[in-house]
Structure 1
Amino acid sequence: MAATPAYPPARFGIEEEAFLLDGASLDLARHVPPDWVPACRRALGDCFAEEMFQCQAELVSPVFRQLGEAVAFLARGRAQLADLARAHGLRSLVVGTHPFSRLADAAPSEQPHYRALFEDYVQPARNSLLCGLHVHVEVPPGQDRVALMNRVLPWAPLLLALSCSSPFWQGRHTGLASYRRALSGQWPRMGMPPWFADEPAYQAHLKLLHARGLMREPGHAWWFLRPSARYPTLELRISDACPRLADALCIAGLFRALLTQAMADADAGDPHLARALLAENYWQAQRHGCRARFLLADGRCVDLAQWLAQAWAQCAAPARAGNEWAYAHACRLARSGGSAQRQVRSLRRHLARGGDVAEALQELVAELLEENRQVPEGLPLNSR
């Protein structure tokens, strides 16, 4: 294992999307009061952002140095958003897809940026009633972000598997642990990134798309791992929004560890084999979540716990520093299953008690709302 340079723990930030629900039915809100956005801006300032639909919101974090700072901010931010929602007759819900809503006519955001997306992408945009978790990790000057992306990409399905929280769509069990990622595949430049040798090659491609009128702006490359167009970061976009805050922080910590280690690694190996494995493992993570099996370069198939242990083993001490809690929590998820498995178990449990599907799904949403309130254990809220 290569010796990792003595970088300090990488700074990072988190963007977490949420749905707004009708306070009585727990369905997606069909009517969002006009004073909702101004109230959120007053209370949360730049940490609040609108999303594609009026029945969505986003928490945007400041820059963190430690996971404890992130749990303090996000726990407080989730609570503030929930309180603001209740004051407007709504509920806020962090999850990849709403389990039962059949809302086909959700009102889009009034922001011109989002209006343009609906004009350009039509049905894929209308299908995007989805919530994701985005993690930015800072890349120091002198490091090529695309070279780092190539080294980290093989682990992206592992991070997706830990996050999967979208097994239901419009009241149906889709059979996928992350149906959100399947719907995201309808968009251009939102799935697995193509191979680029380095950041100049990546930027040249984006400039060509923009120059030929095929893409409105550089930020419209939404691949599930990408160099950020706004910040000096590598941005993880593959993950579903996590009902339990602990799962979101676990993914942030593991991504930070893997990226720190990537700064010490020489290359990404055979790019063609790596992409073939990535494509297969991406599908397995979408389909099975924490119960997936993954294909390795030596031909072996391993479960999530084994692959997770391999990922951690290739991280040197500087990459692990400050992220140990994230690995321990990921091990717990590998044993017990993630959100997708919990949701399916919940539905089956309610049906076994004699309830119908509609009642069972409404009970599931109530359980997810409770999960949103849970504060992770074992991380001091004021860790610095």
Structure 2
Amino acid sequence: MAGANAREPGFSIGIEEEFWLVDRETRDLAKDPPAEFLKDAKAKLGDQVSSEFMRCQVETGSKVCNSALEAREQLIEMRSTLSEVAAKYDMALLAASTHPFAQWDDQKHTDGERYNTIARDLRTVVDRLLICGMHVHIGIEDDDLRIELMAQASYFLPHLLALTTSSPFWRGRETGLQTFRLSVFDNLPRTGLPEVFGSWAEYRRHVDMLINAGVIEDGTKLWWDLRPSDRWPTLEMRIADVCTDLEDAVCVASITRCLMRMLYRLRRNNQRWRIYANMLVRENRWRACRYGSDPGEKAGLIDFGRGEIVPYADLLEEILELIRPDAEFFGCVDEVEHARTIIKRGTSARRQREIYDAAIELGASPKDALVAVADVLIERTDPHARSDT
């Protein structure tokens, strides 16, 4: 069997989450948060918290985790700590990939060498980058194995995106999409599905060509949906919206981890997941943006083996069956099966629409209805503020 004597990857987990800083009175974005906020946050969380491109954003990054339990504990600590620090400055933390009504042309980007370079190079394209995401790192120590699994795992990226959708509103308008975030992000260069490479050496040759041509400084400027991290021996899943509910984030991270091990198990048995053309996976990517995991006559993703659209709930059951041995191996069966709960009650995007529609039905103005959406997002972001936890 291929790789029978090879050491199995560690499949560690690391989770990065991006949040909005919101003015507690208006629920609009805090356009220029005080510098003391980040200083206080770093005093409590150290390097696990950092600024983001927009001043109204903040990012957290977990330490290396070896279990879903560790990941959950770290997300709870980081979210609750940031919420407490933000409250000192009359701000709140909000987890959604777009703010319900904020305007991008009102915002300022963070002053720093990297961010100033991005702003100078990409101009108005990056001015519109009023979006947040979640990135999941899976530890895979072997360089060539990372490249091999990246090509196969791309198939599942739309399925992961559909579980996380949290950006149905853009600048106060209902977009008709479950996630509008990628419609904004895809305007940047070097985004979308990853390229397929035959080896780590081939991947590095392509990256080095861009570096030597002066186009990028390093591999961190490849903003693909899935990429080899330029800083750690990990595959970094970047397609996901940031999850409003912490348990959803743990679920998606656990599924990502199990999918990587499932693909590794296939390799160990001289098998592999079929690599489909990007034009096909890209179609599912769009369908995940448009319909997410919701049911409906036109919803669902394409099953390329059957050549037909299949309801997302059915595809999810197939995935859960595929990764069952891996969920048992990692002890995260409950976390993985939480995906069924997401399907039943809907992602953040569906619930945001429900809150908005209910407020309108009760006579609220569109602006007040959007404020009601923001209020619920704020409450559900802080694990210590939620009424159901």
What is the CA distance between 1:315 and its match in structure 2? Answer: 2.6
* C-alpha deviation, 1:219, in angstroms: 1.0
Deviation at 1:7, TM superposition (A): 3.9
Q: Is the 8 A contact 1:13 1:136 kept in 2?
A: yes
- For the residues of structure 2 that align with 1:3 and 1:315, how far apart are their CA atoms? 20
Count how many residue pairs are aligned between Structure 1 and Structure 2: 376
Q: Distance in 1 between matches of 2:159 and 2:355?
A: 24
Give the structure 2 partner of residue 18 of structure 1. Answer: 19
2:118 counterpart of 1:112: no
**Pair 1:284-2:291 in alignment:** no
User: How far does the alpha carbon of each residue in 1:67-97 deviate from its partner, in whole angstroms, 9 at most, with x for none?
Assistant: 1111111111111101111101211111111
For residue 234 of structure 1, give the secondary structure of its aligned residue in structure 2: strand
Can you list the C-alpha shifts for 1:323-377, whole angstroms capped at 9, x where unaligned? 3123211011122221111111111110000111000000110011111124799
RMSD: 2.3
| Superposition misfits of 4+ residues, deviation over 4 angstroms | 2-6, 267-270
- Classify 1:183/1:142 alpha carbon distance in 2 versus 1 (closer, same or farther; 3 Å): closer
In structure 1, what is the Cα distance between the partners aligned to 2:246 and 2:130? 21
1:358 aligns to what?
Answer: 367
Mapping 1:143-182, distance limit 5 Å: 143-182=144-183
2:190 aligned residue: 189
* TM-score, normalised via structure 1 length: 0.93
Change (3 A) 1:173 1:87: same
Residue type of the partner of 1:353?
Answer: L
Alpha-carbon displacement from aligned partner over 1:197-234 (angstroms, at most 9, x marks no partner): 22221111111111112223221001010110000000
Report the counterpart of residue 308 of structure 2 in structure 1: 300
Query: Alpha carbons of 1:249 and 1:316: their partners in 2 closer, same or farther (altered >3 Å)?
Result: closer
Cα deviations by residue, 1:75-121 (Å, 9 ceiling, x for unpaired):
11111101111101211111111001124131211121111110111
Displacement after TM superposition at 1:269 (Å): 5.4
Aligned to 1:42: 43
Choose between structure 1 and 2 for higher RCO, CA contacts under 8 A separated by at least 6 residues.
1
Q: In 2, distance between residues paired with 1:108 and 1:275?
A: 33
Q: 1:314 — aligned with what?
A: 322
State the shift of 1:300 in Å.
2.8
Residue by residue over 1:3-47, the C-alpha shift from the partner in whole angstroms, topping out at 9 and shown as x without a partner, is 998847621110011111112101001231132221121121111
Give the aligned partner of residue 344 of structure 1.
353
How far apart are 1:58 and its partner, in Å?
0.7
Conserved 8 A contact 2:10-2:140: no
Aligned partner of 1:341: which letter?
R
Moved more, 223-232 or 64-73: 64-73
Residue matched to 1:324? 333
What is the rounded CA distance, in whole Å, between the counterparts of 2:250 and 2:89 in structure 1?
29
Paired residues of 1:143 and 1:263 also in contact (CA < 8 A): no
Structure 2 CA distance for aligned equivalents of residues 64 and 242 of structure 1:
19
**Separation (CA, whole Å) in 2 of partners of 1:376 and 1:143:** 44
**Correspondence 1:335 to 2:336:** no
Equivalent residue number for residue 377 of structure 2 = 368
Residue ranges of structure 1 left out of the alignment (5+ in a row): none
Change (3 A) 1:303 1:6: farther
| Residues 131-146 of structure 1 aligned to structure 2 (within 5 Å) | 131-141=132-142, 143-146=144-147
Distance 1:42 1:374 in 2: 21
**Structure 2 gap segments, 5+ residues each:** none
When residues 8 and 139 of structure 1 are mapped into structure 2, their CA distance, relative to the original with a 3 A threshold, is closer
Go from structure 1 to structure 2 and tell me whether the alpha carbon gap of 1:376 and 1:63 turns closer, same or farther (over 3 Å shift): farther
Paired AA for residue 358 in structure 1: K
- Maintained 8 Å contact 2:185/2:191: yes
2:219 matches 1:218: yes
Cα pair distance change 1:293/1:345, threshold 3 Å: same
Letter in 1 for 2:186: G
